[in-house]
Amino acid sequence: MSGGVDSMVLLDLLQNSIFSLSVAHANFQLRSIESDADEDFVKNKCLQKQIPFYGKRFDILTHAKMNKCSVQMSARTLRYNWFYHLGKNLHCDCIVLGHNLNDEIETFFLNLSRGTGLKGLLGIPKKVGPILRPLLPFTREQIMLYARSRNLHWREDSSNKESKYFRNVIRHRVVPVLFKVFPNFYQNFSHTLYHLNQYYSLSEQAVQISRIQITVMKKIDPFLWEINTEVLKRFHPINGYLFRLFSPYGFKNLPDLKRLLQAQPGKQLFSKSYRLVSGKNRWLLRQKRI
């Protein structure tokens, strides 16, 4: 729980349910006094409502620097790891998060603008492992309406109001324009997202079938596969197949894979844990020994 409107609505809804609750609050200490005030706010709410509260402070800047990733990515990693860990220790059945339809739309536009490929356009999953996001079908406006009708209190994240982050540009300057011109925007967007996911599943199956077709045999060595490149070469679109078949093994560079497809026997490609060796009409995919 951040203390924002989504999390307060979620708490209000779950409180009236049959589930027994614990609240976790991650304090990233990025907005100094404000961050601490958020923590106090959530803590006090929990005290009032007699719900167990778990707070944790993270030194996110050090983590980001050490792992050479963005502050946002660090926050994400640290938060989710802690949620999993805490959920396990407390024997929770699930971890419930307050993401809504607007978060999903913003993520879509962010990933579209950053060019992260199709997977980034599939939306935020409703359920992954123990994580549930029951507010995902609702817009921020609907959640706000509920919060007001129930007289809930929440804290505004000051960074939300500034157009400082990319996400906020999309939130304040792109989505409202589209919604104004297309009153069914939210509904239509959900519809598109649903279809994208259906197509993704279908394409996943084409890849599975093709994987069976090209894998000649799994040798006695359980870490060695033989791939029939004569069959592989006939797949169309070859780029789509090469990427989807070999990126799970860490081979994500298409030009490299395409060169290997034309290479003399003996040429090799290496990923972190695998080796791909070209032979006559064959590739050998071998897991590296640890």
Residue 225 exposure: Cα atoms within 13 Å on the Cβ side: 16
Nearest Cα neighbor of 95 from 122, 56, 134, 41 is 134
Supply the DSSP string of 238-285, one letter for each residue.
HHHHHHHHHGGGT---HHHHHHHHHSPTT-EEE-SSEEEEE-SSEEEE
Shortest distance (Å) from residue 60 CB to a copy of itself = 23
Give the C-alpha separation, 127 to 137, whole Å.
13
Nearest Cα neighbor of 2 from 23, 21, 25, 22 is 25
| Residue 95 β-bridge partners | 131
Q: What is the helix, strand, coil percentage profile of the chain, to 5?
A: 55, 15, 30
Kindly state whether residue 201 participates in binding a copy of itself, applying the rule CB under 8 A.
Answer: yes
Judged by CB under 8 A, the stretch of 41-49, 63-71, 75-83, 201-209 that binds a copy of itself is 201-209
Kindly state whether residue 178 participates in binding a copy of itself, applying the rule CB under 8 A.
Answer: yes
Which C-beta is closer to a copy of itself: that of 14 or that of 231? 231
Binding residue for a copy of itself, selected from 177, 218, 234, 248, defined by CB under 8 A: 177
Kindly state whether residue 274 participates in binding a copy of itself, applying the rule CB under 8 A.
Answer: no
Which C-beta is closer to a copy of itself: that of 71 or that of 121? 121
Judged by CB under 8 A, the stretch of 7-15, 83-91, 130-138, 240-248 that binds a copy of itself is 240-248
Kindly state whether residue 244 participates in binding a copy of itself, applying the rule CB under 8 A.
Answer: yes
* φ/ψ of residue 31, rounded to 5: -120, 35
Kindly state whether residue 212 participates in binding a copy of itself, applying the rule CB under 8 A.
Answer: no
**What is the Cα gyration radius of the chain?**
24
Kindly state whether residue 196 participates in binding a copy of itself, applying the rule CB under 8 A.
Answer: yes
Nearest Cα neighbor of 71 from 190, 159, 136, 161 is 159
Which C-beta is closer to a copy of itself: that of 164 or that of 288? 164
Which C-beta is closer to a copy of itself: that of 15 or that of 239? 239
Binding residue for a copy of itself, selected from 182, 223, 234, 288, defined by CB under 8 A: 182
Kindly state whether residue 273 participates in binding a copy of itself, applying the rule CB under 8 A.
Answer: no
Contact footprint for a copy of itself (CB under 8 A): 109, 112-118, 121, 166, 169-170, 173-174, 177-178, 181-182, 184-185, 187-189, 191-192, 195-203, 205-207, 209, 236-237, 239-241, 243-244
